[in-house]
Amino acid sequence: MDIIILPSADDAVALTVRIIEEQVRRRPESVLGLATGATMEDVYRSLVRAHLEDGLDFSQVTTFNLDEYVGLTHEDPRSYAAYMRRNLFDAAGIDESRGRLPDGAAADLTAECRAFEEAIRAAGGIDLQLLGIGRSGHIGFNEPMASPASRTRRVVLAPETLKQNGSYFGGAEHMPRLALTMGIGTIMESRRCLLLATGKEKSAVLAEAVEGPVRAMIPASALQAHPACTVICDEPAAAGLRQRAYYDWLFQHDPAWARFRLTTAPPGSGCREG
């Protein structure tokens, strides 16, 4: 796991976008795993800008989103399908046939989850999975106690998540209680994971996920065992990390990150895109 701590949320978003952009330019037919939430809105805004201004071409990309609420059709403005159309798909030219989300309004949710997993396999697996982290410690909607071996399935949302996302529904009490989510096992099969965390409200859970033991109560901690996971965060989100000098050391000395470092910054002082 690489942990990259950048001075601001803008810097963290910029690096995330740059990695996604490089992936798509290197392999135009990439399979991307996408996430939703407030943190990702800036990422998608920048990707849309890269599409419109720098010709970043998404026409051959296939995407799979992590999750969707049960009971909402994809036409519902509160659905994650609508979020994706609004924030990325429409402006970036990602056709509905290539931008897949689980259908939380399907008559047979078990069959829908199975079909979603099958579609990922048929696409050749996910090259790059974008992730946020919830205050409950979730990735996707894998809430505390989710099995590390879990696949796409129906889950119960944690109270912490209802609190976190309630404002999109006019209050936690109006939120769906159930969702479909890619499993932790599904996420772990992606070739690369990129977790973006910004803001101080993520600092405690990020520290547990990254530095605590791997345990089902903190689903994001499973990523410690992923062979290629990069965590990108800003200073406020990094505030709970005890080993940050070590992460900075690794970042400064790893040749793989050389072109992403700010050459003028003294070692350990954080960085900007180079």
| Strands 192-197 and 62-65, sheet pairing | unpaired
Closest separation in Å from C-beta 134 to ligand PGA: 3
- Tokens representing residue 118 in the block: 């099958």
**Pick 17 or 133: Cβ nearer ligand PGA:** 133
In angstroms, the CA 185 to CA 200 distance is 28
CB of 71 to ligand PGA, least distance (A): 19
Which residues make up the interface to ligand PGA (CB under 6 A)? Answer: 37-39, 132-134
Which residue, 193 or 261, has its beta carbon nearer to ligand PGA?
A: 193
Q: What angle do CA 177, 232, 148 make, to 5 degrees?
A: 45
Between 34 and 261, name the residue whose CB sits nearer to ligand PGA: 34
Closest residue to ligand PGA, judged by C-beta, is 37
Closest CB 211 distance from ligand PGA, rounded Å: 19
Q: Which is nearer to ligand PGA, 4 or 158 (CB)?
A: 158
Q: Smallest gap, in angstroms, from Cβ of residue 39 to ligand PGA?
A: 3
In the complex with ligand PGA, the residue whose CB is nearer, 39 or 65, is 39
Decide: helix, strand or coil at residue 56: coil
How far apart are alpha carbons 192 and 127 in whole angstroms? Answer: 6
Least distance from C-beta 215 to ligand PGA, angstroms? 18
In this complex, which beta carbon is closest to ligand PGA, that of residue 140 or of residue 270? 140
What minimum distance in Å lies between the beta carbon of 197 and ligand PGA?
8
**How far apart are alpha carbons 46 and 78 in whole angstroms?**
22
Q: What is the dihedral of CA 223, 155, 75, 52, to 10 degrees?
A: 0
Both structure tokens of 35: 């996430």
Other CB atoms within 10 A of residue 197 CB: 25
* Contacts of 228 by beta carbon, 8 Å cutoff, 6+ apart: 191, 192, 193
